[in-house]
Amino acid sequence: MGLLSYIVKRTLFSIPVIIVISILCFGIIQLPPGDYADAYAAVAASTGGGSVSKEYLEKIRERYGLDQPFWIQYWRWVKGFPEGDFGIAMSLQGTPVTDLLKERLPMTLFLNFSALIFALMIALPIGIYSATHQYSLLDYLLTFIAFIGIAIPGFILAVFIIAISIFWFDSSYIGRLYSNEFIGKAWNMDKTIDFLKHLPVPIITIGIAQTSNTMRIMRGNMLDVLKQPFIQTARSKGLSEPVVNWKHAARIAINPIISRIGVYLPEIIATEMLVSIVLNLNTIGPLFYDSLIAQDMYLAGTILLVISIILVLGNLIADVALALSDPRIRHELN
Protein backbone atom coordinates (compact mmCIF):
# COMPACT_ATOMS: atom_id res chain seq x y z
CA MET A 1 0.00 0.00 0.00
CA GLY A 2 1.86 3.02 -1.29
CA LEU A 3 -0.19 5.66 0.44
CA LEU A 4 0.28 4.26 3.93
CA SER A 5 4.06 3.96 3.62
CA TYR A 6 4.09 7.49 2.19
CA ILE A 7 2.26 8.79 5.26
CA VAL A 8 4.62 6.91 7.59
CA LYS A 9 7.65 8.23 5.72
CA ARG A 10 6.38 11.82 5.82
CA THR A 11 5.65 11.52 9.55
CA LEU A 12 9.10 10.12 10.33
CA PHE A 13 10.68 12.86 8.26
CA SER A 14 9.00 15.60 10.29
CA ILE A 15 10.63 14.41 13.55
CA PRO A 16 14.15 15.71 12.76
CA VAL A 17 12.57 18.91 11.43
CA ILE A 18 10.82 19.45 14.76
CA ILE A 19 14.06 18.76 16.65
CA VAL A 20 15.99 21.34 14.60
CA ILE A 21 13.20 23.88 15.07
CA SER A 22 13.27 23.30 18.82
CA ILE A 23 17.01 24.05 18.84
CA LEU A 24 16.37 27.26 16.87
CA CYS A 25 13.60 28.28 19.28
CA PHE A 26 15.90 27.62 22.21
CA GLY A 27 18.54 29.76 20.51
CA ILE A 28 16.03 32.62 20.51
CA ILE A 29 15.30 32.04 24.19
CA GLN A 30 19.02 32.30 24.87
CA LEU A 31 19.56 35.46 22.82
CA PRO A 32 18.89 38.10 25.51
CA PRO A 33 22.10 38.44 27.51
CA GLY A 34 22.37 37.60 31.21
CA ASP A 35 20.91 35.14 33.65
CA TYR A 36 17.23 34.86 32.89
CA ALA A 37 16.10 34.61 36.50
CA ASP A 38 17.83 37.89 37.42
CA ALA A 39 16.41 39.63 34.37
CA TYR A 40 12.98 38.35 35.24
CA ALA A 41 13.27 39.60 38.82
CA ALA A 42 14.33 43.01 37.52
CA VAL A 43 11.41 43.19 35.10
CA ALA A 44 8.97 42.12 37.81
CA ALA A 45 10.30 44.80 40.15
CA SER A 46 10.29 47.58 37.55
CA THR A 47 6.77 46.87 36.31
CA GLY A 48 5.39 46.91 39.82
CA GLY A 49 4.93 43.16 39.93
CA GLY A 50 6.43 43.24 43.41
CA SER A 51 9.56 41.50 44.52
CA VAL A 52 10.08 37.89 43.58
CA SER A 53 11.01 35.51 46.36
CA LYS A 54 14.50 33.99 46.43
CA GLU A 55 13.06 30.47 46.62
CA TYR A 56 11.02 31.08 43.49
CA LEU A 57 14.10 32.25 41.57
CA GLU A 58 16.02 29.23 42.83
CA LYS A 59 13.19 27.03 41.64
CA ILE A 60 13.41 28.57 38.17
CA ARG A 61 17.21 28.19 38.08
CA GLU A 62 16.88 24.59 39.16
CA ARG A 63 14.09 23.79 36.68
CA TYR A 64 15.90 25.27 33.67
CA GLY A 65 19.51 24.73 34.80
CA LEU A 66 20.34 28.37 34.18
CA ASP A 67 23.96 28.02 35.36
CA GLN A 68 24.60 25.06 33.05
CA PRO A 69 26.02 25.06 29.49
CA PHE A 70 23.74 25.51 26.42
CA TRP A 71 23.08 21.86 25.61
CA ILE A 72 22.21 20.87 29.19
CA GLN A 73 19.87 23.85 29.42
CA TYR A 74 18.36 22.82 26.13
CA TRP A 75 17.89 19.27 27.38
CA ARG A 76 16.22 20.46 30.59
CA TRP A 77 13.87 22.55 28.47
CA VAL A 78 12.83 19.86 26.00
CA LYS A 79 12.97 16.64 27.96
CA GLY A 80 9.47 17.07 29.37
CA PHE A 81 7.83 17.94 26.05
CA PRO A 82 7.00 14.42 24.87
CA GLU A 83 5.23 13.81 28.20
CA GLY A 84 3.30 17.07 27.92
CA ASP A 85 5.38 19.00 30.47
CA PHE A 86 6.08 22.35 28.84
CA GLY A 87 7.66 24.00 31.86
CA ILE A 88 6.34 26.96 33.83
CA ALA A 89 5.36 30.45 32.78
CA MET A 90 7.57 32.68 34.87
CA SER A 91 5.69 35.87 34.01
CA LEU A 92 2.42 34.28 35.13
CA GLN A 93 3.38 33.35 38.69
CA GLY A 94 4.74 29.99 37.63
CA THR A 95 1.56 28.64 36.03
CA PRO A 96 2.37 25.41 34.17
CA VAL A 97 2.55 26.18 30.44
CA THR A 98 0.66 22.94 29.79
CA ASP A 99 -2.40 24.41 31.54
CA LEU A 100 -2.19 27.58 29.46
CA LEU A 101 -1.92 25.58 26.25
CA LYS A 102 -4.80 23.30 27.23
CA GLU A 103 -6.93 26.37 27.75
CA ARG A 104 -6.00 28.16 24.52
CA LEU A 105 -4.78 25.63 21.98
CA PRO A 106 -8.17 24.10 21.05
CA MET A 107 -9.64 27.55 20.39
CA THR A 108 -6.57 28.51 18.34
CA LEU A 109 -6.80 25.40 16.20
CA PHE A 110 -10.53 25.85 15.81
CA LEU A 111 -10.19 29.47 14.68
CA ASN A 112 -7.38 28.74 12.23
CA PHE A 113 -9.16 25.74 10.80
CA SER A 114 -12.48 27.61 10.45
CA ALA A 115 -10.74 30.54 8.78
CA LEU A 116 -9.09 28.17 6.30
CA ILE A 117 -12.36 26.41 5.53
CA PHE A 118 -14.12 29.78 5.24
CA ALA A 119 -11.46 31.01 2.81
CA LEU A 120 -11.76 27.91 0.63
CA MET A 121 -15.57 27.77 0.73
CA ILE A 122 -15.91 31.37 -0.41
CA ALA A 123 -12.93 31.55 -2.74
CA LEU A 124 -13.29 28.39 -4.82
CA PRO A 125 -16.80 29.03 -6.23
CA ILE A 126 -16.00 32.69 -6.85
CA GLY A 127 -12.71 31.77 -8.53
CA ILE A 128 -14.50 29.30 -10.81
CA TYR A 129 -17.20 31.84 -11.60
CA SER A 130 -14.60 34.51 -12.40
CA ALA A 131 -12.75 32.17 -14.75
CA THR A 132 -15.86 31.03 -16.61
CA HIS A 133 -17.00 34.64 -16.96
CA GLN A 134 -13.59 36.08 -17.76
CA TYR A 135 -13.50 39.86 -18.44
CA SER A 136 -17.14 40.29 -17.43
CA LEU A 137 -18.02 43.23 -15.23
CA LEU A 138 -18.42 40.99 -12.17
CA ASP A 139 -15.05 39.37 -12.89
CA TYR A 140 -13.36 42.77 -12.86
CA LEU A 141 -15.19 43.76 -9.70
CA LEU A 142 -14.25 40.54 -7.90
CA THR A 143 -10.61 40.84 -9.00
CA PHE A 144 -10.53 44.38 -7.67
CA ILE A 145 -12.05 43.36 -4.33
CA ALA A 146 -9.55 40.51 -4.12
CA PHE A 147 -6.64 42.90 -4.60
CA ILE A 148 -7.89 45.11 -1.79
CA GLY A 149 -8.48 42.06 0.41
CA ILE A 150 -4.83 41.11 -0.03
CA ALA A 151 -3.59 44.65 0.59
CA ILE A 152 -5.40 45.27 3.87
CA PRO A 153 -3.44 43.63 6.68
CA GLY A 154 -5.58 41.52 9.02
CA PHE A 155 -4.84 43.56 12.11
CA ILE A 156 -5.81 46.81 10.40
CA LEU A 157 -8.98 45.18 9.13
CA ALA A 158 -9.70 44.19 12.73
CA VAL A 159 -9.30 47.83 13.78
CA PHE A 160 -11.59 48.92 10.91
CA ILE A 161 -14.22 46.38 11.90
CA ILE A 162 -14.10 47.51 15.51
CA ALA A 163 -14.50 51.11 14.30
CA ILE A 164 -17.41 50.30 12.01
CA SER A 165 -19.12 48.24 14.66
CA ILE A 166 -18.85 51.07 17.15
CA PHE A 167 -20.48 53.52 14.80
CA TRP A 168 -23.13 51.47 13.08
CA PHE A 169 -23.68 48.08 14.62
CA ASP A 170 -24.37 46.39 17.88
CA SER A 171 -20.83 46.16 19.11
CA SER A 172 -21.49 43.76 21.96
CA TYR A 173 -20.45 40.79 19.82
CA ILE A 174 -17.20 42.31 18.58
CA GLY A 175 -13.99 41.29 20.26
CA ARG A 176 -13.42 38.37 22.60
CA LEU A 177 -14.97 35.02 21.87
CA TYR A 178 -17.76 35.06 24.41
CA SER A 179 -19.38 37.67 26.61
CA ASN A 180 -18.04 38.53 30.04
CA GLU A 181 -20.67 36.64 31.96
CA PHE A 182 -19.53 33.34 30.45
CA ILE A 183 -15.86 33.61 31.39
CA GLY A 184 -14.76 30.58 33.31
CA LYS A 185 -18.17 28.90 32.95
CA ALA A 186 -18.64 25.44 31.51
CA TRP A 187 -19.98 25.12 27.96
CA ASN A 188 -23.75 25.05 27.77
CA MET A 189 -26.44 26.07 25.31
CA ASP A 190 -26.36 29.80 26.14
CA LYS A 191 -22.60 30.00 26.02
CA THR A 192 -22.49 28.19 22.68
CA ILE A 193 -25.05 30.57 21.14
CA ASP A 194 -23.14 33.54 22.51
CA PHE A 195 -19.90 32.06 21.17
CA LEU A 196 -21.39 31.55 17.71
CA LYS A 197 -22.50 35.18 17.62
CA HIS A 198 -18.94 36.30 18.39
CA LEU A 199 -17.44 33.97 15.82
CA PRO A 200 -18.10 35.58 12.38
CA VAL A 201 -15.96 38.68 12.92
CA PRO A 202 -12.70 36.88 13.80
CA ILE A 203 -13.17 34.20 11.14
CA ILE A 204 -13.88 36.71 8.37
CA THR A 205 -11.05 38.99 9.49
CA ILE A 206 -8.56 36.15 9.64
CA GLY A 207 -9.74 34.50 6.44
CA ILE A 208 -10.22 37.47 4.15
CA ALA A 209 -6.62 37.75 2.88
CA GLN A 210 -6.41 34.04 2.03
CA THR A 211 -9.89 34.18 0.50
CA SER A 212 -8.69 36.88 -1.87
CA ASN A 213 -5.49 35.02 -2.61
CA THR A 214 -7.19 31.68 -3.26
CA MET A 215 -9.80 33.35 -5.43
CA ARG A 216 -7.15 34.72 -7.76
CA ILE A 217 -5.15 31.49 -7.87
CA MET A 218 -8.28 29.42 -8.52
CA ARG A 219 -9.26 31.78 -11.32
CA GLY A 220 -5.81 31.40 -12.90
CA ASN A 221 -5.82 27.61 -12.55
CA MET A 222 -9.30 27.35 -14.04
CA LEU A 223 -8.34 29.49 -17.02
CA ASP A 224 -5.34 27.23 -17.64
CA VAL A 225 -7.36 24.03 -17.34
CA LEU A 226 -10.17 25.31 -19.54
CA LYS A 227 -7.71 25.64 -22.43
CA GLN A 228 -6.77 21.95 -22.25
CA PRO A 229 -7.85 19.43 -24.88
CA PHE A 230 -9.80 17.21 -22.48
CA ILE A 231 -12.18 20.09 -21.82
CA GLN A 232 -12.77 20.38 -25.55
CA THR A 233 -13.41 16.64 -25.63
CA ALA A 234 -15.90 16.97 -22.79
CA ARG A 235 -17.68 19.77 -24.64
CA SER A 236 -17.71 17.84 -27.91
CA LYS A 237 -19.27 14.87 -26.12
CA GLY A 238 -22.19 17.22 -25.59
CA LEU A 239 -21.82 17.64 -21.82
CA SER A 240 -23.52 20.69 -20.40
CA GLU A 241 -21.43 23.72 -19.46
CA PRO A 242 -21.91 23.32 -15.68
CA VAL A 243 -20.79 19.68 -15.84
CA VAL A 244 -17.73 20.63 -17.89
CA ASN A 245 -16.82 23.49 -15.58
CA TRP A 246 -17.56 22.01 -12.20
CA LYS A 247 -16.89 18.33 -12.70
CA HIS A 248 -14.12 18.19 -15.27
CA ALA A 249 -12.24 21.47 -14.98
CA ALA A 250 -12.63 22.39 -11.31
CA ARG A 251 -11.66 18.89 -10.23
CA ILE A 252 -8.20 19.39 -11.75
CA ALA A 253 -7.85 23.10 -11.04
CA ILE A 254 -8.33 22.53 -7.32
CA ASN A 255 -5.18 20.41 -6.85
CA PRO A 256 -2.66 23.28 -6.84
CA ILE A 257 -4.80 24.93 -4.16
CA ILE A 258 -4.58 21.86 -1.95
CA SER A 259 -0.84 21.74 -2.40
CA ARG A 260 -0.74 25.42 -1.46
CA ILE A 261 -2.46 24.84 1.89
CA GLY A 262 1.03 24.38 3.27
CA VAL A 263 1.74 27.96 2.14
CA TYR A 264 -1.54 29.33 3.49
CA LEU A 265 -1.17 27.87 6.96
CA PRO A 266 1.71 30.05 8.18
CA GLU A 267 -0.06 33.13 6.84
CA ILE A 268 -3.36 32.22 8.44
CA ILE A 269 -1.65 31.45 11.74
CA ALA A 270 0.24 34.75 11.63
CA THR A 271 -2.93 36.71 10.82
CA GLU A 272 -4.80 34.84 13.53
CA MET A 273 -2.16 35.85 16.10
CA LEU A 274 -2.31 39.54 15.18
CA VAL A 275 -6.11 39.65 14.87
CA SER A 276 -6.50 37.83 18.18
CA ILE A 277 -4.26 40.38 19.86
CA VAL A 278 -6.36 43.26 18.49
CA LEU A 279 -9.71 41.61 19.20
CA ASN A 280 -8.49 40.21 22.51
CA LEU A 281 -9.42 36.62 21.72
CA ASN A 282 -8.63 33.78 24.06
CA THR A 283 -6.03 32.10 21.84
CA ILE A 284 -2.28 31.57 21.72
CA GLY A 285 -1.57 34.87 19.94
CA PRO A 286 -2.24 37.22 22.87
CA LEU A 287 -0.41 34.80 25.21
CA PHE A 288 2.63 34.95 22.93
CA TYR A 289 2.41 38.73 22.76
CA ASP A 290 2.10 39.12 26.54
CA SER A 291 5.06 36.83 27.06
CA LEU A 292 7.16 38.94 24.68
CA ILE A 293 6.13 42.15 26.41
CA ALA A 294 6.98 40.62 29.80
CA GLN A 295 10.26 39.36 28.27
CA ASP A 296 9.36 35.84 29.40
CA MET A 297 11.40 34.27 26.63
CA TYR A 298 10.91 30.72 27.88
CA LEU A 299 7.16 31.00 27.44
CA ALA A 300 7.59 32.82 24.10
CA GLY A 301 10.04 30.21 22.80
CA THR A 302 7.78 27.38 23.88
CA ILE A 303 4.80 28.94 22.11
CA LEU A 304 6.89 29.54 18.99
CA LEU A 305 7.81 25.86 19.03
CA VAL A 306 4.18 24.81 19.53
CA ILE A 307 3.05 26.96 16.60
CA SER A 308 5.81 25.53 14.43
CA ILE A 309 4.79 22.00 15.34
CA ILE A 310 1.20 22.84 14.37
CA LEU A 311 2.55 24.02 11.03
CA VAL A 312 4.60 20.88 10.49
CA LEU A 313 1.52 18.78 11.18
CA GLY A 314 -0.57 21.04 8.95
CA ASN A 315 1.86 20.54 6.09
CA LEU A 316 1.79 16.81 6.69
CA ILE A 317 -1.99 16.77 6.47
CA ALA A 318 -1.90 18.96 3.35
CA ASP A 319 0.51 16.55 1.65
CA VAL A 320 -1.63 13.56 2.50
CA ALA A 321 -4.75 15.40 1.34
CA LEU A 322 -3.06 16.13 -1.97
CA ALA A 323 -2.12 12.49 -2.38
CA LEU A 324 -5.73 11.54 -1.68
CA SER A 325 -7.15 14.13 -4.05
CA ASP A 326 -4.78 13.82 -6.98
CA PRO A 327 -4.79 10.34 -8.54
CA ARG A 328 -1.59 11.17 -10.46
CA ILE A 329 0.35 11.49 -7.21
CA ARG A 330 -1.21 8.30 -5.82
CA HIS A 331 -0.17 6.58 -9.01
CA GLU A 332 3.42 7.76 -8.60
CA LEU A 333 3.48 6.38 -5.06
CA ASN A 334 2.45 2.97 -6.25
Out of 222, 278, 322, 323, name the contact with another protein by CB under 8 A: 278
Q: Which is nearer to another protein, 25 or 244 (CB)?
A: 25
Residue 20 as a binder of another protein (CB under 8 A): the answer is yes
What is the closest distance, in whole angstroms, from the C-beta atom of residue 327 to another protein in the complex? 25
Residue 312 as a binder of another protein (CB under 8 A): the answer is yes
Q: Which is nearer to another protein, 171 or 239 (CB)?
A: 171
What part of residues 140-179 is at the interface with another protein (CB under 8 A)? 147-148, 150-153, 155-156, 159-160, 162-163, 166-167
Contacting range for another protein; rule: CB under 8 A; set: 76-84, 87-95, 98-106, 293-301: 293-301
Residue 32 as a binder of another protein (CB under 8 A): the answer is yes
Out of 95, 114, 255, 295, name the contact with another protein by CB under 8 A: 295
What is the closest distance, in whole angstroms, from the C-beta atom of residue 37 to another protein in the complex? 17
Residue 106 as a binder of another protein (CB under 8 A): the answer is no
Integer Cα distance of 236 and 226 in angstroms: 14
Q: Which is nearer to another protein, 222 or 304 (CB)?
A: 304
Integer Cα distance of 162 and 179 in angstroms: 16
What is the closest distance, in whole angstroms, from the C-beta atom of residue 206 to another protein in the complex? 13
Going by C-alpha positions, the residue among 16, 6, 26, 166 that lies closest to residue 158 is 166
Out of 60, 201, 250, 269, name the contact with another protein by CB under 8 A: 269
Q: Does residue 276 contact residue 285 with C-beta atoms inside 8 Å?
A: yes
